[in-house]
């Protein structure tokens, strides 16, 4: 397993956001993480990426126990992520946003790779604009490009297609598929079921902080617990 999170639990002063959650991601796979709002998906990302420390449970990444390590250490091991609301460096330019993750590399290599991703995601004309002037969709795309600058082996994408224009979504999905062919793995939080169906071989449904169903889309759709979680009894 590339990522193996076991029994993760996080309590916010009486509110248990994540309760005994397991998540396993094989190398080169795409796992879809779905569930109603407030079911703990984003908290799970925060626990895995190190922004939050779990109360119980542990995170194994590339067979190393990374529980409680600071986020930058985990990032340097090859784990990247994006945020539900794009967390860009707003006053820095589009290309500077891409430089930051690779800033310790030689300048030339850093600039070249940033230019490649700018080209790839069609952000080249905007490279000298401050990130804050980009549209919501462009910000999502820029954030993904920025996460890719570190060449991570696993990417956690939090609603990466939300607000992105349909034509760009198609390209985004194509990009994710191509990146997977290069051996990268993804966990994606997504509300768009077409995207989930299109990309994911495995789907995990979260509800009240833990997984209530796992499998392909057809299987989880038929699962009684899932139907109940989404629609109520």
Partner 1 sequence: MRRLRLPALAAFLLLTLLAPLALGPFWLRILTEILLWVGLAVSWNIIGGYTGYLNFGHGAFFGVGAYVTAIAMVEGGLPFGAGLLLAGCASAGLAAFIGLPTLRLRGAYFAIATWAFAEMIRQVALLLEVTGGAFGMLVPVLLHPEFFYYTMWGAVAGTCAITYGLMERSRMGYKLRAIREQEEAAETLGVATTRLKLAAFALSATFPGVLGGIYGYWTTYIHPDSVLTGSVTDQMVVMVLLGGLGSAVGPILGAVLLQGVSRFLWIQTEQSVLYIIFIGLVICVVVQFVPDGLVGLVARFRRRGRRGTDAP
As a residue count, the chain comes to 233
Count of residues that interact with partner 1, criterion CB under 8 A:
28
Q: What is the CA radius of gyration of the chain?
A: 18
Question: With respect to partner 1, which residue has the nearer C-beta, 118 or 147?
Answer: 147
Ordered alpha helix ranges (H), the chain: 41-49, 71-76, 94-99, 107-120, 136-148, 166-181, 193-199, 217-222, 224-231
Helix (H) or strand (E) holding 79: strand 79-81
Exactly one of 53, 64, 76, 191 binds partner 1 (CB under 8 A); which one?
Answer: 76
61 near partner 1 (CB under 8 A): no
Between the CA of residue 215 and those of 33, 144, 189, 202, what are the distances in Å? 11, 26, 15, 5
Distance of CA 21 to the CA centre of its chain: 17
Question: With respect to partner 1, which residue has the nearer C-beta, 98 or 213?
Answer: 98
100 near partner 1 (CB under 8 A): yes
Give me the least distance between CB of 2 and partner 1, in Å please. 17
Helix (H) or strand (E) holding 57: strand 56-61
10 near partner 1 (CB under 8 A): no
Quick note: the x/- pattern for partner 1 over 128-167, rule CB under 8 A, is ------------------xx-xx-----------------
Exactly one of 12, 26, 64, 90 binds partner 1 (CB under 8 A); which one?
Answer: 90
49 near partner 1 (CB under 8 A): yes
Residues in CB range of 51: below 8 A, 6 or more apart: 71
Exactly one of 83, 117, 121, 186 binds partner 1 (CB under 8 A); which one?
Answer: 83
Exactly one of 31, 75, 204, 220 binds partner 1 (CB under 8 A); which one?
Answer: 75
Give me the least distance between CB of 166 and partner 1, in Å please. 27
Q: Specify the stretch interacting with partner 1 by CB under 8 A; choose among 90-98, 158-166, 175-183, 222-230.
A: 90-98
Q: Give the residue among 226, 230, 208 at the shortest CA–CA distance from 216.
A: 226
CB atoms within 10 A of CB 3: 23
Interface residue list for partner 1 (CB under 8 A):
49-51, 70-72, 74-76, 80-81, 83, 87-92, 96, 99-101, 103-104, 146-147, 149-150
């Amino acid at each position: 397993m590339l990522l193996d999170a076991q029994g993760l639990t996080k309590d916010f002063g009486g509110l248990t956001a994540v309760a005994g959650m397991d998540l396993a991601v094989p190398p080169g796979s795409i796992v879809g993480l779905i569930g109603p709002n407030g079911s703990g998906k984003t908290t799970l990302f925060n626990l895995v990426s190190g922004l939050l420390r779990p109360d119980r449970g542990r995170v194994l990444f590339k067979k190393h126990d990374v529980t409680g390590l600071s986020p930058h250490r985990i990032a340097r091991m090859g784990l990247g992520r994006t945020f539900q609301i794009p967390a860009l460096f707003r006053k820095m330019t589009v290309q500077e946003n891409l430089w930051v993750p690779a800033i310790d590399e030689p300048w030339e290599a850093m600039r070249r790779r940033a230019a490649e991703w700018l080209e790839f995601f069609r952000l080249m004309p905007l490279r000298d604009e401050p990130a804050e002037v980009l549209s919501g969709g462009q910000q999502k795309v820029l954030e993904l490009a920025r996460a890719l600058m570190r060449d991570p082996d696993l990417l956690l994408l939090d609603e990466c297609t939300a607000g992105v224009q349909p034509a760009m979504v198609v390209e985004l999905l194509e990009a994710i598929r191509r990146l997977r062919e290069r051996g990268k793995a993804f966990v994606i939080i997504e509300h768009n079921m077409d995207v989930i169906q299109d990309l994911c071989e495995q789907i995990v449904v979260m509800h009240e902080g833990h997984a209530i169903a796992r499998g392909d889309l057809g299987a989880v759709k038929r699962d009684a617990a899932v139907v109940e979680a989404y629609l109520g009894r």
